[in-house]
Structure 1
Amino acid sequence: MASIELGSPNFKANPYPIFANVRKNDPIKQVVLPGNRLGWLITRYEDAELALRDPRFIKDPRHLLSLEQLSKQFGRIVTEQEEGSQQAHQQPVFFERNMLGADPPDHTRLRSLVSLSFTPRFIERWRERIQTIAHELLDGVQGTGTMDLVNDFAFPLPMLIITEMLGVPRDDQARFRAWSNLFIESSGDPDAFRRNADQVRAFREYLRYLINEKRKLPAEDLISGLIAAESEGNKLSEGELISMVSLLLIAGHETTVNLISNGMLALLLHPEQKELLQQDPALIKSAIEEFLRFHGPLMTATQRWVSEDMELNGQQLKRGDYVVVVLASANHDEETFKHPDELDITRSDNRHLAFGKGIHYCLGAPLARLEGQIAISTLLQRLPHIQLAVAPEELIWRPGSLIMGLRALPVQF
């Protein structure tokens, strides 16, 4: 059985030739994943789009798998005590119990609780605050002539915004970043979650404490809003509330960190495209879409399982099979995109899958787009001569099969 190390930092440095070969010769490919699990890689655009929107590919495996099978998939089973009940029960790790890991009708109910806070109109209200933070961050480094674009700019900008939206104390950001890195970089590796069970538990307790504080003293923030919705009879359990907050915190900044840093890396490696964007700043919207396609923030989509036997592109998928939709491959499919391995910030009809498709389309896409537009435009305006401070081959990519992100991006200006 073949094995592709999707989470390997070395593989992430240039996965596209391998993906091109897989698309050509074995587009629905069964591989051995971390934890000795079998899974199907879906690599072509047409198949990936179908899997993302087809209800036969489900998100909640509890409808298909036994507790033993769930333990192998998720790394561990946590035993929880129902609030107000003496009966213990078992569930997969807590952060799977949110809208990202749910199917209708639970998904519909959970997503509706936060959807109004992520509309384009609501997100637009944050434009001035995003711009202010971008300038403040660059004020802190502009006199030095050098910075790590990830840690000095791309990470703190979306982190400050999502924590302000949710009402997370600013002093807690350092602890939260460590937890976020653990979850993201362990993605797709059950053994990694087993090794870090204590940290998983600590993050859960932190979120429980934060939610309890908001119950005592509500504010004009998203966590308080979720608590209020819970009290109005939407049947949001404590586990769901903790899981929802964890999802919003992690997903609310991880995608944008990688969008900003990967986008800037693409420009720095393609100076003609950087110059074109500097000459015509109005191209920033199409440029962001191209960054999302060319070297997007996610290597793969989040988990899916086959709910019934089916045939897909000549392969027989069975009920309960694990499926990995490889967004990075689908977004470079030559059958869908002309010259897919070329960066073209003027590309039209850019139907990339970076934010997914169907009912699980990324709720935070408007926020990520706005943050990306402001961040990269401000960088090019304030630091017009910005360039890499190291050779490209010295850059190190973060592990984990889910994300495509750099550990650091040293630049000089």
Structure 2
Amino acid sequence: MKQGILSQILDYANRANPYPLYEELRRTPVFHDGEGPYVVSTYHEIHGLLHDPRLSSDTRNRGAAAGDPLAGQEEGEGQLPPSFLKLDPPEHDRLRRMTNRPFGPPHSPRRIDGMREELRSVVKGLIDGLADGRGGSGGGDGIDLVEQFSYPFPVTMICRLLGVPREDEARFHVWADTLAASLDPDPDADAEQREKVTSSARMELGMYLAGLIEERRKNPGDDMLSQLAAGHGQGETMSTMELLSTAALLLIAGHETTVNLITNGMLTLLRHPDVLERLRREPRLAVPLVEELLRYEPPVQLLPQRTPLSDIEVCGVTIPKGAPMWLVLAAGNRDPQRFENPDRFDPDRKDVQHLGLGSGIHSCFGAPLARLEAQLALSELARRLHNPRLLDDPPPYRRNAVLRGPRHLMIACDDVRP
């Protein structure tokens, strides 16, 4: 019965609503069709594996496997090394620890909270700009929330945080799209061609960042690139290549998932107008609402790059050392064995220990910033857009099955409140 379900999940035709497929997948908590990856889809098993030191995030530990589109995707000579996201301890711990010093506690405890007013200012300016395309009785052709708000907001903020010129967005946007697409286990893609394109994008982004870092070493500021380049702290330093790889990760991951979180969030609210109206009246609802969104419509649907370092038994199935594994976070987030009425969007849900930001040592590094951005964005959109409504439902989605979110979200409203 399960034959072909992975190809259905990856099929763009099912991108708008993969959840019935996830429900089917959960009937076999560890699914393997004999050729492809071992796929884990239930909450408790995924959560346990994310905390299991026998599970590697480094694809260099993966044996050659038939049907594994990610096998063999390693950096070549002159390429950036893997980011800490794709490393195991102790290398992962060392790089993440150094990266965290200019970002969060204990060394920089007020970094994110100190951005709150700047975040509000950017949100205000972007929403002010929506008035010209509000549609409805006010005229205009509608608002593309992705192009006009969900994308420029986190991009602007990660640029300011890192010290990347915002006007360079047109340059790094293409590289970021290419590298994000490389995460997608597309079985129909030409693996050799895709790796060639990905390697080229990685090299060009690395060269671009190398220029910025050299500039920051000569003229340091209060941005993260300056602080990482200075290498302050406890005698630990990054090599130049590690610094470039880390900077590339922060730039791309710092906006890609947040774009999806905000867009999925507004789409969900427009489909639940009672919750949208409540958020308008109760802006503090944004905090639990974003946590429920991370469960209900997570911006990262699955983790396709995990490898056992030894044989692991899960639900009576032995997953052999070196075999490719997928952890389907979005399926685990709607597991009825963990969440009551899992297909219901409920911002009052009391126990929302979701997998939307991962768990364990690889939990989302930028979670504090992503949460704050989504809370401010959605509460302000709810407050200021009068009578917002979808013009296209379901909207067109990005091709990516891993980073799932609408490519465009066309809405109209009667007015943009001050």
- Pick aligned residue for 1:39 from 37, 40, 50: 37
Residues 300-311 of structure 1 mapped to structure 2, 5 A cutoff: 300-301=302-303, 303-311=305-313
Q: Specify the alignment match of 2:130 in structure 1.
A: 141
Provide Cα deviations, 1:277-306, integer angstroms capped at 9, x if missing partner: 223222111111111111111111362110
Q: Specify the alignment match of 2:6 in structure 1.
A: 4
Q: Specify the alignment match of 1:227 in structure 2.
A: 229
Larger mean CA deviation between 126-135 and 342-351 belongs to 342-351
Query: Is there any run of 5+ residues in structure 2 with no aligned partner, and where?
Result: 135-141, 186-190, 414-418
Distance 1:153 1:58 in 2: 36
Q: Specify the alignment match of 2:182 in structure 1.
A: 186
Q: Specify the alignment match of 1:176 in structure 2.
A: 172
Calculate percent identity across the aligned residue pairs. 36
1:99, distance to aligned residue in structure 2 (A) = 1.6
Distance 2:233 2:273 in 1: 54
Q: Secondary structure at the match of 2:386?
A: coil
Q: Secondary structure at the match of 1:118?
A: coil
Q: Secondary structure at the match of 1:140?
A: helix
Q: Secondary structure at the match of 1:298?
A: coil
Amino acid at match of 2:17: N
- Pick aligned residue for 2:116 from 110, 127, 130: 127
Provide Cα deviations, 1:130-161, integer angstroms capped at 9, x if missing partner: 00000001111223313111110011111111
1:213, distance to aligned residue in structure 2 (A) = 2.1
1:212, distance to aligned residue in structure 2 (A) = 2.1
Is the contact between residue 208 and residue 242 of structure 1 (CA under 8 Å) also seen in structure 2?
yes
Residues 351-366 of structure 1 mapped to structure 2, 5 A cutoff: 351-366=353-368
- Pick aligned residue for 2:19 from 11, 16, 19: 16
Query: Is there any run of 5+ residues in structure 1 with no aligned partner, and where?
Result: 81-92
Q: 1:340 to 1:217 in 2, by over 3 A?
A: same
Q: Specify the alignment match of 1:100 in structure 2.
A: 85
Distance 1:268 1:74 in 2: 42
TM-score, length-scaled by structure 1: 0.89
Q: Secondary structure at the match of 1:122?
A: coil
Q: Specify the alignment match of 2:77 in structure 1.
A: 79
Distance 1:70 1:205 in 2: 30
Provide Cα deviations, 1:182-239, integer angstroms capped at 9, x if missing partner: 1112313445333444333222221222222222322211111111117974241222
Q: Specify the alignment match of 1:330 in structure 2.
A: 332
Larger mean CA deviation between 119-128 and 157-166 belongs to 119-128
1:273, distance to aligned residue in structure 2 (A) = 2.0
Residues 371-390 of structure 1 mapped to structure 2, 5 A cutoff: 371-390=373-392
Q: 1:99 to 1:403 in 2, by over 3 A?
A: same
Alignment of 1:162 with 2:147, yes or no, is: no
Distance 1:260 1:21 in 2: 28
Distance 2:114 2:233 in 1: 27
Q: Secondary structure at the match of 2:143?
A: strand
Larger mean CA deviation between 142-151 and 132-141 belongs to 142-151
Distance 2:406 2:69 in 1: 30
Q: Specify the alignment match of 2:95 in structure 1.
A: 110
Is the contact between residue 70 and residue 305 of structure 2 (CA under 8 Å) also seen in structure 1?
no
Amino acid at match of 1:41: V
Moved over 4 A (4+): 63-66, 69-72, 230-233
Provide Cα deviations, 1:66-121, integer angstroms capped at 9, x if missing partner: 8xx999625454113xxxxxxxxxxxx63x62221111111111111122313463
Q: Specify the alignment match of 1:30 in structure 2.
A: 32
Q: Specify the alignment match of 2:139 in structure 1.
A: none
Larger mean CA deviation between 370-379 and 297-306 belongs to 297-306
1:62, distance to aligned residue in structure 2 (A) = 3.1
Q: Secondary structure at the match of 1:303?
A: strand
Is the contact between residue 2 and residue 30 of structure 1 (CA under 8 Å) also seen in structure 2?
no
Is the contact between residue 44 and residue 329 of structure 1 (CA under 8 Å) also seen in structure 2?
yes
Is the contact between residue 10 and residue 397 of structure 1 (CA under 8 Å) also seen in structure 2?
no
1:365, distance to aligned residue in structure 2 (A) = 0.8
Q: Secondary structure at the match of 1:355?
A: coil
Is the contact between residue 396 and residue 407 of structure 1 (CA under 8 Å) also seen in structure 2?
yes
Alignment of 1:401 with 2:401, yes or no, is: yes
Distance 1:304 1:134 in 2: 37
Amino acid at match of 2:182: S
Distance 1:326 1:72 in 2: 16
Q: 1:187 to 1:61 in 2, by over 3 A?
A: closer
Q: Secondary structure at the match of 1:346?
A: coil
Is the contact between residue 71 and residue 77 of structure 1 (CA under 8 Å) also seen in structure 2?
no
Residues 49-68 of structure 1 mapped to structure 2, 5 A cutoff: 49-63=47-61, 65=63
Q: 1:233 to 1:302 in 2, by over 3 A?
A: farther
Distance 1:248 1:28 in 2: 32
Q: Specify the alignment match of 2:146 in structure 1.
A: 150
C-alpha RMSD of matched pairs (Å): 2.3
Q: Secondary structure at the match of 1:324?
A: strand
Distance 1:260 1:125 in 2: 21
Larger mean CA deviation between 6-15 and 166-175 belongs to 6-15
1:51, distance to aligned residue in structure 2 (A) = 1.2
Distance 2:396 2:11 in 1: 10
